[in-house]
Structure 1
Amino acid sequence: MKRHCLALDLKDDPQLIAEYENWHKSENGWPEVRKSILAAGIIEMDIYRTGNRLMMIMVTDDWYNESLKAASDAANPKVQEWEQLMWKFQQPLPWAKEGEKWVPMKQIFHL
């Protein structure tokens, strides 16, 4: 298993942030998106927020492959619909590469 930590910003608008959080309540998540996450080898996924900064922690199987997950998502119309909806609330980090949403974080400490 491997842990991945990623960051992304939300648009700094309290109403949009509240709406984003509402979409991420378990009763509002889309089953097709959850299925695609689990099928990719993601065992656990947590998203934390402070202000408008998000941090995602994923625990994946050893066989998880980010490129395969991206290709699978690109071919899944429901996942693409979800991503379009979420982009209403999200904005890239200032240092994100072109087209990059969630930016991998570098681990700098472990105890």
Structure 2
Amino acid sequence: MRYCLALDLKDDAALIARYEEHHRKIWPEIAAHLHANGVTGMEIHRLGTRMMMIMETDDAIYDAAAMAQAMQDDPKVQEWEALMWQFQVPTPWTPQGEKWVPMTKIFDLGNQ
């Protein structure tokens, strides 16, 4: 399955540059966490401070609740998330306490 999610960055060029640097080569523990939880592909795109994540998953493995619990149980993933939160801010439409939020698909050429 494909998921598209949105999150914003703080409007600071130096912070954005550091955020992008962290994503040139993520920590191996983070890649392992994603793979172990059924994430088969992930891309993050940015325009200004708005980011869009495209996440591909293996439906036989991926379970959002289980992945969230695995994140809570892994100190290294928690460390990464705390580091990333130094650069990130929720979108104006993000519910309290959440980060990456699903975007609504409004068009699919394949359905035309």
Q: Same fold (TM over 0.5)?
A: yes
- Inter-partner Cα distance in structure 1 for 2:59 and 2:93: 28
Q: CA deviation at 1:94?
A: 1.1
- Inter-partner Cα distance in structure 2 for 1:8 and 1:42: 18
2:95 aligns with one of 90, 94, 97: 97
Q: Does 1:61 align with 2:58?
A: yes
Q: CA deviation at 1:37?
A: 0.3
- Inter-partner Cα distance in structure 2 for 1:55 and 1:108: 15
TM-score where L is the length of structure 1? 0.95
Q: Does 1:30 align with 2:1?
A: no
- Inter-partner Cα distance in structure 2 for 1:73 and 1:21: 22
Q: CA deviation at 1:98?
A: 1.2
Gaps of 5+ in 2: none
Deviations 1:8-52 (A, max 9, x none): 0000000000000000002xx110011000000000000000001
Give the aligned residue type for 2:82: Q
Q: CA deviation at 1:76?
A: 0.3
- Inter-partner Cα distance in structure 2 for 1:97 and 1:48: 21
Give runs of aligned pairs for residues 3-18 of structure 1, distance below 5 A: 3-18=2-17
Give the aligned residue type for 2:75: P
- Inter-partner Cα distance in structure 1 for 2:47 and 2:92: 17
- Inter-partner Cα distance in structure 2 for 1:47 and 1:93: 15
For the aligned residues, what is the CA RMSD? 0.6
Divergent runs of 4+, >6 A = none
Which residue is equivalent to 2:36? 39
- Identical-residue share of aligned pairs (%): 56
Gaps of 5+ in 1: none
